[in-house]
Amino acid sequence: MKQITIAIDGFSSTGKSTIAKLIAKSLGYIYVDSGAMYRAITFFAMKNGLISTEHFNRETLISELPNAKVSFTFNDALGFAEVYLNNENIEKDIRTLEVSNLVSIVAAVPEVRAQLVKIQKAIGKHKAVVMDGRDIGTVVFPDAELKIFMTASAETRALRRYNELKNNGENITFEAVFENVQKRDHLDSTREDSPLIQAEDAIAIDNSNATIEEQYQNILKLANTIIAS
């Protein structure tokens, strides 16, 4: 059977990862959350006192990048690969609002992007991969057979993220999450290196009012059409 690469890009909290996992499981493909890799480096910087809301020791982080080994290990029970930093599972540690508030700053560093894009390209070398992020269809896999660009209103995305964080036990306000979503939108879209933009050949999907099942079926149909061609 023909194997393809599926690139899913879009703004934060558009449900990219949820849909990507479902598509990958249905097709028997590898799923990779590229955003988790940037969160892992951000977590590394935080643990080593290199970044906070008050400061960012950019040059030291760059020099320490060789000591931040990011990898994935497939979890059979969950059905997807979890992210590891120096052989330590940090899947839960990187999903906090604190990390969310700093990840766009770290992700804007060209040296960080170069290191992680190299890993991402290697993972997708043999196709049969679904990867989501900000620059998958434009930088990582510009030749991907299927490119999706997901978006939704900032209010809708903030509410989704707020509910997710509350369910995980975080003590946060909707206003703080909404501010974070707006801030990340601006930083991701205006950074000099690989900004968040829609690839010319990407299919745009606004899921402000669409269910997960509707999105899943729509994208799976697109993928199967390409595979069968």
Task: Specify binding-site residues for ATP.
Answer: 10-18
Tokens of 10: 């879009």
Burial, 63: exposed, middle or buried (Cβ in 10 Å; 0-12, 13-18, 19+)?
Answer: exposed
Contact 188, 196 (CB under 8 A): yes
Contact 185, 191 (CB under 8 A): no
Tokens of 91: 């899947």
What gap in Å lies between CA 29 and CA 20, rounded to an integer? 10
What gap in Å lies between CA 15 and CA 143, rounded to an integer? 23
Cα→Cα distances 214→19, 96, 148, 195, Å? 10, 28, 15, 28
What gap in Å lies between CA 75 and CA 84, rounded to an integer? 12
Tokens of 48: 């080593």
Contact 155, 76 (CB under 8 A): no
- Known binding-site positions: 10-18
Locate tokens 């170069």: which residue? 114
